[in-house]
Amino acid sequence: SAVISQKPSRDICQRGTSLTIQCQVDSQVTMMFWYRQQPGQSLTLIATANQGSEATYESGFVIDKFPISRPNLTFSTLTVSNMSPEDSSIYLCSVGTGGEGDTQYFGPGTRLTVL
Amino acid sequence: AQSVAQPEDQVNVAEGNPLTVKCTYSVSGNPYLFWYVQYPNRGLQFLLKYITGDNLVKGSYGFEAEFNKSQTSFHLKKPSALVSDSALYFCAVRDSGYSTLTFGKGTMLLVSP
């Protein structure tokens, strides 16, 4: 399986600021995803990061709030913009090959606290 | 649409006893089913998956899961629980024709010494 790293591992931010989270994979992958896990909750898919084109966002998530970049097949960033305390969550990067039976693997996550 | 339900918020079991964590799913096509485990302050680790074939799937750390199409279930099992198995367990489903996973709410497994 791919080795996935995320930076930062955790951060404490002030309301109204933005944070960019990086996801790096040790091999080329077709699919990269960003998830949010709010305290005590399950995982919710934010968007699929598409290489060379705009990300595909799930219902309830918009590009202005969560801009995503994917410049190549091993790297992606997620920005959480104009943060509020409600954005306090764990943000997880996930990768896969895109096949129907494909296994998705997850990074260690970024724990974000917004004050 | 695809969905998955984990009816138990928490499962308590004594070390050495068998454990079961329940999962049911709903899809319109063929299901691809997954179990993940999350330890405190860690990301998700893949345990096992069902794609096709044998209904009993074996995975990491001695875990197994049984696919039951008629009951639309995919329960996670282990014959003998360890204290170190204590963690948060997520069931996930992907419907055929879809590229994304849908996760259940998670079940906290607590194994007491």
Q: What is the pLDDT along chain B (113 residues), one digit of tens a residue?
A: 889 999 999 999 999 999 999 999 999 888 999 999 999 878 899 999 999 889 999 999 999 999 999 999 999 999 999 999 999 999 999 988 777 899 999 999 999 99
Interface of A with B (CB under 8 A): 1, 4, 31, 33, 41-45, 48, 58, 92, 94, 98, 100-101, 103-109, 111
pLDDT at A100 over 90: no
Could A106 and B101 be called an inter-chain contact, meaning their C-beta atoms sit closer than 8 Å? no
| Amino acid residing at B89 | Y
Interface test with B, best of A3, A10, A37 (most B CBs within 10 A): A37
Can you name the residues that pair with B11 across neighbouring β-strands?
Answer: B109
Bridge-based pairing of strands A89-96 and A110-114 is antiparallel
Cβ–Cβ < 8 Å for B24, B10: no
> Considering only alpha carbons, which residue of chain B is nearest residue A95?
B100
